[in-house]
Structure 1
Amino acid sequence: MKRAVIVGATSGLGLEVARLLLERGWSIGVAGRRVEALEQLRAVAPDRVRVRAIDVTQSDAPDRLHALIDDLGGMDLYFHSSGIGRQNPDLDPSIELATVRTNGEGFVRMVTAAYRYFRTQGRGHIAAITSVAGTRGMGAAAAYSATKRFQRTYLDALAQLAHREGLRLRITDIRPGFVRTALLNPEVRYPMMMEPAPVARQIVGAVERRRRVVTIDRRYRALVLLWRLIPQCVWERIKWC
């Protein structure tokens, strides 16, 4: 039976992915800061769900991850869905630094812990939700877009390191567009909004096919291509980002 640990499974895409993996016969370990939200998953299949409280910004998070892996009896897939982001055109330092702590420091803390675990096993799979926002710097969400670019580059580096070390370790970089989750400000009208359930189905399909990079959905694939073609001097004058 395949075993996955999903960090950031209390809501949004992490929760939807956890539900789908459970439906497809996986055993799952789910983690987040709000354990009560995860207990509902355990009630669905108590013999195949393990729960741990993990805050990725805390130094004990890797130890908690390893305890969850032990509870699960091992790990074949590490799925990272923990992240925060807010529009912050005023550049409130508390918001920017909190974003860096979770999406930067917390991301590195957890993904490297998973990598080191899979290194001892000689094989495994790390999948992480980054974002199309990592394509270009977006002025209304500077720390968010910067940390998402950081995550993408970090995953590139891990994929190269795994190849150099001869590990059978697959990396999947998942880059969705705007998804209707608690991460987004409900007062802002986002273009091409997507619903969590169909996005999660595409994510699980990409993970099961062991894709290296996936942008969700096809509209955003076209948009990202367009963004890359826009000259910097023009990009800096775009008001909606």
Structure 2
Amino acid sequence: MKRIVIVGATSGIGNEVAKGYLKLGWRIGVAGRRQEELEKFQALAPEKVEIQVLDVTDADAPEKLQLLINKLGGMDLFFLSSGVGSQNLQLDIRIELNTAKTNVEGFIRMVTTAFDYFRKQSGGHIAVISSIAGTKGLGSAPAYSATKRFQNTYIEALEQLSCMEKLNIRFTDVRPGFVATALLKNDKYPMLMHADKVASHIIRALNNKRHVATIDFRYAVLVFFWRMIPRWLWRNLPVRNN
């Protein structure tokens, strides 16, 4: 039986992906900050689900992730769905630094722990949720767009490191557009997607072992044209998240 560990599974996309893999018959290890929500998920299939309270911003997060892997009896696929983001036109330093703490510091903790595990196991699959926001610097959310670009680059670098060391580790960088989760404060975002539909796209992309998965096709088209916009024009566009 295949085993997946999902960090950030108490709500949103991570929770829906966990439900999807449960239906596929996988053993699931779920981690997040809220014990009550983890226990609710475990109650769906106690014989197939292991849980672990974990905060990616804490120094002991790698040890807790390894504990969850041990509870599960190993890991074939690691999926990181933990992240924060918000508009910050006022450049509130607390918001910017908190975003970096989760999306950079926490991201590094989790991904490197998974990489080291698969390095010792001679293979595995690492998948992360980044965002199409990493395509260009968004003036309405500087730290969010910058940290998502960081994640894109970090996964690309680890993929090269894996090849350099001749490791059989696969990577998938999942880049959704706007998804109706707690990260978004209202429903006025364009082309808003629902988490369950996004999860279906993600599971399909992971099964196909895609390197980069922009979800969905509408956002793939948007990103294609975003990349064509020259810097001088982009800086004069009033791009907002809502």
> TM-score, normalising length from structure 2?
0.98
Q: Which amino acid in the other structure matches residue 47 of structure 2?
A: D
Matched-pair identity in %: 57
Three-state SS of the structure 1 residue aligned to 2:94 is helix
For structure 1, the 5+ residue unaligned runs are none
Three-state SS of the structure 1 residue aligned to 2:47 is coil
Q: Which amino acid in the other structure matches residue 54 of structure 2?
A: I
Residue 235 of structure 1: aligned partner: 234
Residue 146 of structure 2: aligned partner: 146
The CA distance in 2 between the partners of 1:157 and 1:240, in whole Å, is: 29
Q: Which amino acid in the other structure matches residue 125 of structure 1?
A: H
How far is 1:240 from its partner? 2.7
Aligned length: 240
How far is 1:208 from its partner? 1.1
Query: Over residues 92-142 of structure 1, what are the superposed CA-to-partner deviations in whole Å (9 max), with x where a residue is unaligned?
Result: 000000000000000001000000000000000000000000000000000
Three-state SS of the structure 2 residue aligned to 1:103 is helix
Residue 53 of structure 2: aligned partner: 53
Residue 135 of structure 1: aligned partner: 135
For structure 2, the 5+ residue unaligned runs are none
Residue 160 of structure 2: aligned partner: 160
The CA distance in 2 between the partners of 1:224 and 1:213, in whole Å, is: 13
How far is 1:231 from its partner? 1.4
The CA distance in 1 between the partners of 2:196 and 2:53, in whole Å, is: 24
Are 1:107 and 2:107 an aligned pair?
Answer: yes
- Summarize the alignment of residues 36-115 of structure 1 with structure 2, pairs less than 5 Å apart: 36-115=36-115
The CA distance in 2 between the partners of 1:9 and 1:61, in whole Å, is: 15
Three-state SS of the structure 2 residue aligned to 1:78 is strand
- Summarize the alignment of residues 158-237 of structure 1 with structure 2, pairs less than 5 Å apart: 158-186=158-186, 189-237=188-236
Three-state SS of the structure 2 residue aligned to 1:140 is coil
Are 1:123 and 2:104 an aligned pair?
Answer: no
The CA distance in 1 between the partners of 2:116 and 2:153, in whole Å, is: 18
RMSD of aligned C-alpha atoms?
0.8
How far is 1:239 from its partner? 1.1
The CA distance in 1 between the partners of 2:20 and 2:83, in whole Å, is: 20
The CA distance in 1 between the partners of 2:31 and 2:139, in whole Å, is: 32
The CA distance in 1 between the partners of 2:89 and 2:132, in whole Å, is: 19
How far is 1:189 from its partner? 2.3
Q: Which shows bigger deviation, 226-235 or 72-81?
A: 226-235
Three-state SS of the structure 1 residue aligned to 2:190 is coil
The CA distance in 2 between the partners of 1:5 and 1:155, in whole Å, is: 18
The CA distance in 2 between the partners of 1:127 and 1:240, in whole Å, is: 28
The CA distance in 1 between the partners of 2:239 and 2:160, in whole Å, is: 35
